């Protein structure tokens, strides 16, 4: 199993990225919380990983913090939640914020995350209420710096659609939050916060 990668960031196009480790390019998917922490391409990066093998596919997921990986793995154990939905949850809320939503039973906020219906949100609250406190783990992976994308609005729109938002909703969210000079990461972060309100 692959639990951690340390190498050079080759490319990042949310939700996908590539890390070169000793001449081998590893393709990963990551939540936006990890993209916010990534350095610019060509810089060293360390990510915790989750290696998933299914009947028809093999996938590798990357996380800046161990707590994010732990929450991702915990979410996958809940009936009705797959990797795409788990990434959307991590993209829409920090581990601490998600823990707070679960503890207070805020089903309405959880339903605003793409891929989560009312029944799934209720199941999350019931199954995780007693376990979310254990998910706060110190950060062990490092990363700093951000590259300014050529078209931040376009890149943010593509990333939001990849997270499960419908094109019309993406257009509305991006138009509402995007400001001149914003990076794609900033637009995505603000759009995800706006979607939860």
Same domain, yes or no: 74 and 124: yes
Percentage of the chain exceeding pLDDT 70 = 90
> Which stretch of 68-77, 130-139, 151-160, 178-187 has the lowest confidence by average pLDDT?
130-139
Distance separating alpha carbons of residues 1 and 94, to the nearest angstrom: 26
| Pairing relationship of beta strands 24-29 and 16-21 according to DSSP bridges | antiparallel
- pLDDT at position 161: 76
Q: For residue range 170-185, what is the model confidence (pLDDT) as tens digits?
A: 888 888 898 888 888 8
Torsion (CA) 128, 131, 136, 137 in degrees, nearest 10: -120
Specify whether 51 is located in the same domain as 73: no
11, part of any domain: yes
Task: Give the pLDDT band of residue 135 (cuts 50, 70, 90).
Answer: low
Average pLDDT over residues 148-166: 72
Domain check: are 12 and 33 in the same one? yes
Which residues span the domain enclosing 52? 4-63
In a domain, 79, yes or no: yes
Give yes or no for residue 145 having a pLDDT over 50. no
């Amino acid at each position: 199993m692959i639990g951690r990668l340390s190498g050079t960031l080759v490319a990042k196009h949310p939700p996908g990225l590539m890390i070169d480790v000793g001449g081998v390019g590893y393709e990963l998917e990551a939540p936006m919380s990890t993209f916010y922490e990534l350095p610019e391409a060509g810089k060293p990066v360390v990510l915790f990983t989750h290696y998933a093998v299914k009947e028809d596919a093999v996938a590798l997921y990357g996380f800046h913090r161990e707590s994010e990986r732990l929450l991702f793995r915990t979410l996958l154990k809940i009936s009705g939640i797959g990797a795409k939905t788990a990434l959307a949850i991590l993209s829409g809320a920090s581990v601490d914020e998600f823990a707070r939503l679960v503890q207070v039973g805020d089903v309405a906020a959880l339903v605003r995350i793409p891929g989560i219906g009312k029944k799934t949100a209720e199941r999350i609250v019931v199954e995780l209420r007693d376990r979310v406190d254990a998910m706060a783990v110190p950060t062990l992976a490092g990363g700093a710096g951000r590259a300014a994308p050529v078209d931040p609005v376009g890149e943010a729109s593509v990333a939001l659609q990849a997270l499960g938002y419908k094109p019309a909703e993406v257009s509305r969210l991006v138009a509402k939050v995007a400001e001149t000079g914003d990076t794609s990461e900033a637009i995505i972060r603000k759009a995800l916060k706006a979607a939860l309100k």
